[in-house]
């Protein structure tokens, strides 16, 4: 009897919130590859823009499963709310260490796999003059993807570099896959026009009456008081404390110190810190890293130890048992389905990474309980511990 080999594909997404573009990506990637299973690596409760996710990772996991995924894994917070280079490296390393997904799929402006692969090989080799041009562009305040593009243009390599933000993120995924395994099985899916996640978030957060929403949406403004308290602690610690946090430069820390007397709330303080040399998103990430206590040394220790040391399962389909069996056979990192039991088994430095995931989610849930209202049924039903949350199975 002929047994068809199992085929699985993987996609990294924030789904903040889920929209028709995500559904199209899931459906198209599955159809084009003929995959039996779709694995989604999902950002947790905080995302790459340096903000809390509008909906909790539990609700977004359920939405992703209902939209066609078979398994949802959490992208650790060290990478989920980092810049494009770390975000892509963390996601691609997690997928690669599973040794189960045949293809990494992602949304793309160009849909040109050959060009993305050529660009990834260029960036993987990183000529010395390119590195110098990249450093100069980053020092000028450009985001990492924009700095990549500008540095390549200066060296006359623009013809091989797709410039869309999703293409650039895809290049970074591909570059990490090349560095880890020497090969890259990628499928860029050309994006379709749909309402953006940014527009959806604005609409959700502007709703005066959210009774019809599945959850009370969360925004940075809900974290205004905790951020003020954390910044005050850092400033009291002295001049050398703040720039230990990921993405917090000495210049930014000095600006925080000089502007702190004008602090009113999260959003207005980000605008107050903005300069032509500092991007709004970069400032947002830096403030979030201070808020969550994410230090550069911990992230670098994990990067040096192999980037990823576990795969946290957030949810799965009931029919995904064969996929889980294959993951347990093939994966070179442990699968975590019960963090209360397994949290103490992760070796350093990844034990600190998992601890940061748990702390970040419990912090998010605490704020969410108060946002929902202490007396509401939604607030009463929310767990106080990450360890008490059940695995989502549909």
* Mean of pLDDT values over 313-331: 97
- The CATH number linked to 74 is 3.40.50.620
Per-residue pLDDT reduced to its tens digit, 75-121: 999 999 999 989 999 999 999 999 999 999 999 999 999 999 988 98
Residue 236 CB-density burial (10 A; 0-12 exposed, 13-18 middle, 19+ buried): exposed
Residue 159 predicted with pLDDT over 70: no
207 within domain boundaries: no
Q: 153 and 167 share a domain?
A: no
Block residue for tokens 């925004």: 219
Q: 154 and 169 share a domain?
A: no
pLDDT above 90 as % of the chain: 71
Q: 232 and 379 share a domain?
A: no
User: Of how many residues is the chain composed?
Assistant: 394
Q: Which two tokens stand for residue 219?
A: 């925004």
Q: 87 and 231 share a domain?
A: no
Q: 14 and 104 share a domain?
A: yes
Block residue for tokens 């963390």: 90
Strands 51-52 and 71-75 turn out to be: unpaired
Beta bridge partners of 56: none
* Mean of pLDDT values over 300-319: 97
* Residue among 135, 392, 179, 161 nearest 306 (CA): 179
Per-residue pLDDT reduced to its tens digit, 166-210: 998 999 999 999 999 888 899 999 999 888 899 999 999 987 667
Q: What domain range includes position 146? A: 126-161
* Residue among 20, 3, 353 nearest 192 (CA): 20
Instruction: Please say which residue of 297, 329, 346 terminates a domain.
Output: 297
71 within domain boundaries: yes
Residue-level pLDDT at 393 = 98
Q: 321 and 188 share a domain?
A: yes
Give every CB contact of residue 67 below 8 A, 6+ residues apart in sequence.
18, 22, 23, 26
CA dist., res. 115 & res. 1, Å (int) = 41
The answer to whether the CB of 219 falls within 8 A of the CB of 269 is no
Instruction: Please say which residue of 297, 322, 346 terminates a domain.
Output: 297
Q: 186 and 241 share a domain?
A: no
pTM over 0.85: yes
Residue-level pLDDT at 258 = 95
205 within domain boundaries: no
Read off the DSSP letter of residue 381: H
Q: 104 and 134 share a domain?
A: no
Instruction: Please say which residue of 297, 319, 337 terminates a domain.
Output: 297
Q: 312 and 372 share a domain?
A: yes
Q: 65 and 134 share a domain?
A: no
Q: Which two tokens stand for residue 166?
A: 């999703």
- Least confident range from 232-246, 308-322, 334-348: namely 232-246
Beta bridge partners of 39: 10, 71
Q: Tally the domains of the chain.
A: 3
Beta bridge partners of 189: 107
What's the N-to-C CA distance of the chain in angstroms? 31
Confidence of residue 376 (pLDDT cuts 50, 70, 90): very low
Q: 86 and 167 share a domain?
A: yes
- Alpha-helical regions (H) of the chain: 20-33, 57-66, 77-80, 84-98, 113-125, 128-139, 144-154, 165-181, 197-206, 224-236, 250-259, 266-273, 280-292, 296-304, 321-330, 339-342, 350-372, 377-381
Block residue for tokens 């947002």: 284
The answer to whether the CB of 78 falls within 8 A of the CB of 351 is no
Q: 151 and 289 share a domain?
A: no
118 within domain boundaries: no
HSE (side-chain half, CA atoms, 13 Å) at 127: 11
CA dist., res. 243 & res. 9, Å (int) = 39
Give every CB contact of residue 85 below 8 A, 6+ residues apart in sequence.
144, 172
Confidence of residue 248 (pLDDT cuts 50, 70, 90): very high
Residue-level pLDDT at 1 = 38
214 within domain boundaries: no
């Amino acid at each position: 009897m002929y047994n068809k080999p199992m085929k699985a594909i993987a996609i990294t997404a924030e789904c903040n919130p889920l929209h028709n573009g995500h559904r199209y990506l899931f459906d198209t990637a599955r159809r084009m590859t003929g995959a039996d299973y779709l694995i989604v690596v999902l950002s947790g409760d905080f995302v790459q823009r340096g903000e809390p996710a509008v909906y909790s990772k539990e609700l977004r996991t359920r939405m992703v499963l209902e939209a066609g995924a078979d398994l949802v894994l959490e992208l650790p917070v060290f990478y989920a709310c980092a810049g494009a280079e770390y975000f892509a490296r963390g996601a691609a390393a997690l997928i690669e260490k599973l040794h189960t997904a045949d293809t990494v799929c992602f949304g793309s402006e160009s849909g040109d796999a050959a060009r993305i692969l050529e660009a990834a090989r260029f960036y993987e080799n990183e000529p010395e003059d390119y590195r110098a041009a990249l450093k100069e562009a980053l020092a000028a305040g450009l985001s990492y993807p924009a700095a990549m593009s500008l540095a390549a243009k200066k060296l006359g390599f623009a013809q091989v570099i797709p410039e869309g933000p999703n293409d650039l993120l895809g290049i970074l995924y591909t570059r990490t896959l090349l560095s880890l395994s020497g090969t890259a099985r990628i499928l860029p899916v050309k994006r379709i026009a749909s309402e953006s996640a940014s527009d959806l978030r604005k609409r959700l957060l502007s709703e005066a009456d959210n009774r019809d929403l599945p959850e009370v949406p969360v925004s940075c403004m809900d974290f205004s008081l905790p951020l003020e308290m954390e910044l005050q602690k850092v400033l009291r610690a002295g001049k050398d404390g703040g720039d230990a946090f990921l993405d917090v430069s000495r210049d930014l820390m000095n600006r925080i110190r000089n502007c702190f007397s004008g602090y009113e709330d999260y959003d207005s303080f980000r605008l107050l810190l903005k300069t032509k040399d500092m991007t709004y998103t970069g400032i947002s990430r830096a403030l979030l890293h201070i808020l969550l206590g994410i230090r550069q040394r911990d992230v670098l220790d994990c990067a040096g130890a192999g980037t990823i040391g576990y795969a946290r399962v957030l949810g799965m389909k009931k029919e995904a048992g064969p996929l889980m069996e294959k993951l347990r056979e093939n994966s070179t990192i442990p699968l975590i389905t019960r963090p209360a039991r397994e949290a103490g088994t992760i070796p350093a430095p990844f034990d600190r990474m998992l601890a940061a995931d748990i702390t970040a989610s419990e912090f998010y849930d605490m704020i969410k309980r108060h946002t929902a209202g202490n007396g509401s049924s939604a607030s009463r039903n929310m767990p106080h511990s990450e360890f008490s949350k059940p695995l989502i199975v549909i």
